[in-house]
Amino acid sequence: MRVKRAKAYRKLIHQYQVTFNFREPYQVLLDSQILQDAARFKMDLVGLLERTLQGKVKPMITQCDMRHLYNAEPKDQALILKAKEYERRRCNHHELEDPLSTLECLSSVVDPKNSLTNKNRYVVASQDPKVRAHMRAIPGVPLIYINKSVVILEPMAASTHNHREQGEKAKFKAGLKGRRGVNPGQKRKRDEAEEDSTQEQHGSSIMERSTGDDGPQKKKRTRGPKGPNPLSVKKPKKRVHPPVEPHSNVPVKPKKAEPEARRQQGVEPETPIQEGEESAKRKRQRKHKPKSDSGASSQMKAEVESNTP
């Protein structure tokens, strides 16, 4: 039973953590009655609360419930002293002549705006069934009470459960939408954003290019379609340009004469160069070989000479 309950509580607490962002230390609002009952059963209430909630606990008591302890007919001074160690939750009802009932006080503390939200993520530990019933209407209020000296964490209230289910349904729907509609929209948005960014990038790049070298891009673009032709055209342009570029007529003529002569008589200069290279290679080869031979022979001779004497 204990193990089962611990498992169930762990699951419950996890759900509170996930859905309502509960975190340690859990703020537990203790009413005067549960303190009295725990004292009657000689229970270590805080220790039991920590075991029940499976985490650290910050016990709290409202000013009104503190007054209830003071007003109790058999005044339990020890219990008052113990309760004084807990954090006092200032409900600001202390100016009233009489303390509010636990129901009224805790209701105002947990959900001051009656907006059905447990904003401060209180755990309510109360022996008053009316208090717990009221709190069950507020989503996300873990409820604790003592039953026969056992600390009980109530199963999730319907409101909490519904809230949680609605949240999960919403998530699920969002997920479905995300798969069907939302994601494409997001993608579209992203795409648009990307397009925008790319456009911006292009724009920026264009700007950069335009600022940097506007001409070449336009020329490139104009050249783009004509691409293959200009490549073939370029060479004649280059051929044309070098003769055109030199402004003085004097150097142009010899240049023209030289390339033209090379082109026209191209065979003549090329062949002699090749012949010269070949001859040089041959000479080199011939030179190398005889050199090596001669070197070897000279070495041999030297060796022989050195050996002979």
Binding site for Zn ion (CB under 5 A): 62, 64, 91, 93, 100, 105
CB of 35 to Zn ion, least distance (A): 15
CA 190 centroid distance within chain: 17
User: From residue 276, how far is each of 265, 279, 282, 284, 286 by CA, in Å?
Assistant: 17, 5, 9, 12, 14
Distance CA 22, CA 105 (A): 22
Closer CB to Zn ion, residue 66 or residue 153? 66
Summary count for the chain: helices (H), strands (E): 12, 6
Under DSSP, the state recorded for 42 is T
Q: Is the Cβ of residue 48 or residue 61 nearer to Zn ion in the bound state?
A: 61
In whole angstroms, the minimum distance from the beta carbon of 70 to Zn ion comes to 13
Whose Cβ is closer to Zn ion: residue 93's or residue 161's?
A: 93
Q: What does R_g of the chain's alpha carbons equal in angstroms? A: 49
Shortest distance (Å) from residue 115 CB to Zn ion: 19
**Which is nearer to Zn ion, 46 or 105 (by Cβ)?**
105
Q: In terms of CB distance, is 58 or 93 closer to Zn ion?
A: 93
Of residues 62 and 126, the one with the C-beta less far from Zn ion: 62
Interatomic CA distance for residues 160 and 8, integer angstroms: 16
76: exposed, middle or buried (C-beta count within 10 Å: 0-12, 13-18, 19+)? middle
Minimum gap (Å) between residue 132 Cβ and Zn ion: 17
Yes or no: say if 13 and 22 are a contact pair by the CB < 8 Å rule. yes
What minimum distance in Å lies between the beta carbon of 162 and Zn ion?
29
Burial tier of 152 (Cβ tally within 10 Å: 0-12, 13-18, 19+): middle
Which one, 96 or 231, has the nearer CB to Zn ion?
96
- Residue 143 beta carbon to Zn ion: minimum distance, rounded to whole angstroms: 19
**Close Cβ partners of 302 (under 8 Å, ≥ 6 residues apart):** none
Residue 109 vs 151, nearer CB to Zn ion: 109
Closest to 70 (Cα-Cα) out of 42, 98, 49: 98
Q: How far is the CB of 112 from Zn ion (least distance, A)?
A: 11
Q: Least distance (Å) from Zn ion to the CB of residue 146?
A: 22
Per-position b or e across 228-265, b if 16+ CB within 10 A of its CB: eeeeeeeeeeeeeeeeeeeeeeeeeeeeeeeeeeeeee
